[in-house]
Structure 1
Amino acid sequence: MISFIWAEDLDGTIGKNGQLPWHLPADMRRFKEFTTNHTIVMGKRTYESLKRPLPQRRNIVLSNALEPIDGVEIVRDAAELETVLKSLTDDVYIIGGAIVFSTTFGWVNQLIKTVVSGHFAGDTKMIPIDYDKWQLTDRTEYSADETNKYDYAFETWHRK
């Protein structure tokens, strides 16, 4: 299964200066639970924001500009990425950014989304998604607490 996994605010903002505009430990735990021991796919800027390959994952970066990096599989274009993904039997998680989301949208059959209840300044928005073509299969809402400073919801969607 190929899934998008991301967090956005109420305006669809997903990033600011290459980082998340909020700190939400519950979302980071969820991300880790889904992606550990699986393949993750990201763009160059998302990889650079992480500063290193994420451990216990197969890290694939879509970029025609990166030099080889230990622990990272670099694919140079969408066609090469599609070939690699079609050869996998494992779950794949597309983690961003917006260009990679746009490039891979047609291949995805699950959306794993965190909605952060707030409005944050940012420079990157999630790509438009027509949710009429998706079925919401799970939504769990959480209130802010000492660790997570914002209300948030975890959602899972499947392509109809």
Structure 2
Amino acid sequence: MTESDSGSMRASDADREAIAQRLRAGLDEGRLSIVEYDERLRQAYASTTFSQLEPLVADLPEPVPAKPSAETVKRERDKRKVVKEWRDWASVTFILVAIWGVTSIASGGPLFFWPMFPMGIWAAVNLASMISGGGGHKKCKESDSDH
């Protein structure tokens, strides 16, 4: 489809709603008067093609996506860290159990399940880190002379 054909393509309800949101942002930013906003909004909901929608926002800037807050970024980083820790734990657990299985088969019977020690200790550390908020790397703010 050529670019000239895209204007004659029929617009969906979602397309009209996206234009309405851009118009609302223009009103909120003071770029449109209430009368102009109302007129354009009516035209947006009455539009059937992209060629009817595009002129309604042609003089408005593209919306800028909102930046996530510092707290949201930190929460996502902490979440990725926890997922990575448990993924690493599962990978090593798989390897340890495989080694235990192979040695048990080679010896002709099940051996003592020694992988439970590293698995259990690592899982306990992961759980403690999750419960405590995963601080681990926080630095003491007091000066060394106060200790």
Q: Determine which structure has more spread, i.e. the larger CA radius of gyration.
A: 2
TM range (shorter): under 0.3
Structure showing the higher strand proportion among its residues = 1
TM-score scaled by structure 2? 0.20
Higher relative contact order (CA 8 A, sep 6+): 1
